[in-house]
Amino acid sequence: MLFILFIAPLLVLCGCSGNGDDPDLPAADAPRAVLVYMVANNSLGSSNYDSSDINEMLIAAKNGDFGQSRLFVYHHARNAAPVLKEITAEGQRTLLTYDANSSSVSVARMKQVINDFCRAAPAQRRGLVLWSHGSGWIENGIQESGNAISTLSFGDDGGRHMNVTSLRNALSDKLFDFVYFDCCYMAGVEVAYELRHCTDAIVGSATELPSPGMPYDETLRYLLLPEADLVGAASATFDFYNAKSNEARTCTISVINTSALDDLADATRAVYMANNVNSPGFSPQRFMTSACYLYDFGQYVDDLAADLPQLKASFDKALADAVLFKASTPRIWDLLAIDHHSGLSTFIPNENQAEKYHYGNLQWASDVAAALY
């Protein structure tokens, strides 16, 4: 049985950028506008996955899946100037072209694009799709306080990346009622908790997502509804991959209710404070096929709480309230069996990895995981 997630109307207004009103832009509010923030200046772009997904968007538009809602794409193609464009049944209409002085995975550029999108798309509700590579909570992307650049977290702009703490800052105005991660590894409790005040709901994958990403010609009919049906979109993505065979049958996906994450943090902290040692022989469910820093969150905490029935019951309820939908194929790439999938991943403390990837920067680390030490 599928559940539709109804999002309350936003009570905040978008900021504006640009010089005055554009007479070509409609004055009436659309019921919903969605921005796909597509950072394809990387291997995905060189393999034309961005073009394939835009073609799927055009198919959905021609099929009438948008209704009265509107779809915009910030498209940073491989070795090209980024553009903001609208997708309609008539094709693609470029609104703005951006220079390359600011990286697409910087807070400044993301905020600029969001403001331009808001001005171009007066709407009652807004959603955001983040399209690129992803690596979860890892904190060694662009250092926003300076010019240092290293690697990994959300997005890949020619080797530059955005920390999830920076993403939180970019989305702090809470202009989107959902954030859908069309990239790998972003359905982690650390990521969701970091963004809990930025949006009402998050969709993402705890594992690697195949490069084609979500099938937009199947999902936009749900994402562009006035009341976005996130479970419908997540189910469509899962069904698309679950119908395949062998190594192509690979997908995990979750819909997360961010308003439940503070209670989940409280319940998890209570377990961690009561017991920080797993049972003998415990083998955590891995979510990565090689070097691993992401494990199943529910399995890990339930094992710690196995002899703490009241704390376990409180945790299980909090997790059920937070994860509105979850689905998993039996295996990932036909290499890794998925025996446990709670809908969220987590980092199991490892001093070397924690220091190398700056785990302590995260709010979950300070508010919850610190109780493990």
- Residue 26: predicted pLDDT: 57
What average pLDDT does the structure give for the chain? Answer: 89
**Which position has the token pair 């905040």?**
12
- Residue 25: predicted pLDDT: 53
Give buried/exposed letters for 202-236 (b at 16+ CB in 10 A, else e): bbbbbbbbbebbbbbbbbbbbbbbbebbbbbbbbb
What mean pLDDT comes out for the span 30-43?
A: 96
The residue type at 325: F
Q: Pick the residue with more confidence: 19 or 63?
A: 63
Lowest-confidence region among 7-11, 110-114, 116-120, 325-329:
7-11
Question: What pTM, to 2 d.p., does this model score?
Answer: 0.90
Q: How confident is the model at residue 101 (pLDDT cuts 50, 70, 90)?
A: confident
What mean pLDDT comes out for the span 22-47?
A: 84
Tokens of 354: 């924690």
Dihedral angle of Cα 117, 118, 122, 126, to the nearest 10 degrees? 90
Tokens of 338: 């998925």
**H-helix or E-strand containing 192?**
helix 189-194
- What's the distance, Cα to Cα, between the start and end of the chain in Å? 41
> No. of H helices and E strands in the chain?
12, 15
Residue 308 — φ and ψ, nearest 5°? -130, 75
* Largest distance between two CA atoms of the chain: 68
- The shares of helix, strand and coil residues in the chain, as percent rounded to the nearest 5, are 35, 20, 45
Q: pLDDT digits over 286-334, tens only?
A: 999 988 999 999 999 999 999 999 999 999 999 999 999 999 999 999 9
Instruction: Say what percent of the chain tops pLDDT 90.
Output: 78
Q: How confident is the model at residue 16 (pLDDT cuts 50, 70, 90)?
A: very low
Q: How confident is the model at residue 14 (pLDDT cuts 50, 70, 90)?
A: very low
Lowest-confidence region among 99-103, 105-109, 229-233:
99-103
**H-helix or E-strand containing 217?**
helix 216-223
- DSSP helix/strand/coil, 358: coil
With a cut of 60, say whether residue 147 has pLDDT above it.
no
User: Following DSSP, what letter does each residue of 80-138 receive, concatenated?
Assistant: S--EEEEEETTEEEEEEE--SSS-TTSHHHHHHHHHHHHHH--BS-EEEEEES-B-TT-
- Residue 141: predicted pLDDT: 55
